[in-house]
Amino acid sequence: MQWNTDWGLRGRMAFTMFLLFALYLVFVGFITLYFQGGMLPLILLGGFAIAQYFFSDKLALRSMGAREVSADEYPELHRMVERLCQQADLPKPKVAVADTQVPNAFATGRNQQNATVAVTTGLLATLDDDELEGVMAHELAHVKNRDVMVMTIASFLSTIAFFVVRWGWLLSGNNRQGAPVIVAIGVSLVVWVVSFLLIRTLSRYREYSADRGAALITGKPAALASALVSISGRMDRVPKEDLRDEAEMNAFFIIPIRSGFIGKLASTHPSTENRIERLRELEREMETA
């Protein structure tokens, strides 16, 4: 099923990435000027980021308590993923399951050849087949769009800015006293805050893109919309301790765990209501195509 490209969404993503790129260019020039004697720690931090990039899938699965499952253990889930991969023109990723009441799903892996899609037992107990298919298609759209790689790269210099804010006095070399160090740390703080918000904005746009991709893969935008409603309703009945344990995985989940105004501002995902409305628009678009 084909429809017109959402140029508005693509334009907003491109503009956000441009702002990040411009911000990071200024920041790189700044830390080069002020931390001439402190590049070794930055290089070590870069090495850590690269290691995180290559092992992020294992870290994510371990933090969720998810394990890879075979086709013998979950035959229907494997068949569903395989069918969706054929429709999406993707190699089949690994399939994992996490034993938790929180109804959610996520995808991880640095590229299409090293991807894993994971679901929770709470999700399998909550959704019907069409809804589950919509959720899995959403996660596969993340894999197809290489979102883990994009967000890791986008976050790299933001992580360095945070590192400078916390440990800038150690990186200042011969300029450990006086105004230069204070200015450097202050600029790094501004860069970190601005980039944090821009990265969250970019993440929300990419969630919209994954929703659109899921609708393209399945041809059923309404099924994903229904799944989002079901997950949101079930989330209210999950014990608070389970939600707290898994809150750090928000960036991976199809629906994040969040609360309050600040939580919404810093959320990696758009509101469920906005996502459902866009899926309904896609449904109308497909009906008239």
**Which of the residues are catalytic?**
139
| Contact status, residue 77 vs residue 119, Cβ threshold 8 Å | yes
User: Nearest-5° angle of CA 137, CA 139, CA 141?
Assistant: 70
Helix or strand or coil: residue 71? coil
User: Phi/psi of residue 106, each to 5°?
Assistant: -155, 160
Helix or strand or coil: residue 119? strand
Name the helix (H) or strand (E) containing 266.
none
Helix or strand or coil: residue 108? strand
How many helices (H) and strands (E) the chain has is answered by: 11, 4
User: Phi/psi of residue 269, each to 5°?
Assistant: -125, 150
CA separation for the pair 37, 168 (Å, rounded): 12
User: Nearest-5° angle of CA 251, CA 256, CA 260?
Assistant: 115
* Centroid of chain to Cα 16: 15
Dihedral sign for Cα atoms in the order 87, 89, 94, 100: negative
CA separation for the pair 183, 208 (Å, rounded): 38
The first and second tokens of residue 19, run together, are: 């702002």
CB-based contacts of 35, cutoff 8 Å, min separation 6: 42, 164, 168, 171, 172, 173, 184
CA separation for the pair 249, 205 (Å, rounded): 18
